[in-house]
Amino acid sequence: MSKIIMYGDLMSQPCRAVAWVMIYGNIPYELKLLQVLKGETRTDEYKKINPFGKIPTLKVDDDRASVDSYLDWHHLNFRKPCFTYFVSKFMLPKFNVATDPLKVEAEAKEVAKALHLFEKYWLVEGKQPFINGTDMSLADISAYCELLYQSCN
């Protein structure tokens, strides 16, 4: 079995939930306690582990953790801006629904920000072709499907 390290603060409900799953499932893990109120999730050292400074963070000595981490990040941070922009820019005009150009421009900026974060953190500033490094995964397919929205006209 892979070695699992959980970084978290047990004052955090999501951290407690993950810890209970580990305990209930009899899954061995090492707990690295962080104190959110002391800013320990915002240090440069911790941001090397989780660039977004979020907890809990699971570090697993295989490639599953990067896929799981991306899929968690994807829904609100990649899918939401891409889909919102797609609807405003492409779908609403197809149905002759007026859109606010300033809103569409702001949504385009959110997509650009999401793409920047995706490349910076998940593709390691373009140094790896896939989220896992050299192997395609479900996370890569999910990202690709979001990017297809942007090519529609």
pLDDT of residue 118: 93
Mean pLDDT of 127-151: 86
Contact 33/9 with Cβ under 8 angstroms? Answer: yes
pTM (2 decimals)? 0.71
Instruction: Report residue 153 as tokens.
Output: 């006209």
Q: What is the pLDDT of residues 94-125, one digit of tens each?
A: 999 999 999 999 999 999 999 999 999 989 99
Domains (range + CATH), the chain: 4-62 (3.40.30.10), 65-149 (1.20.1050.10)
- pLDDT given for residue 12 in this prediction: 92
Order of strands, sheet of 57-60, starting from the edge strand that comes earlier in the sequence: 30-33, 4-8, 57-60
For residues 64-80, average pLDDT: 84
Mean pLDDT value across residues 82-92 = 92
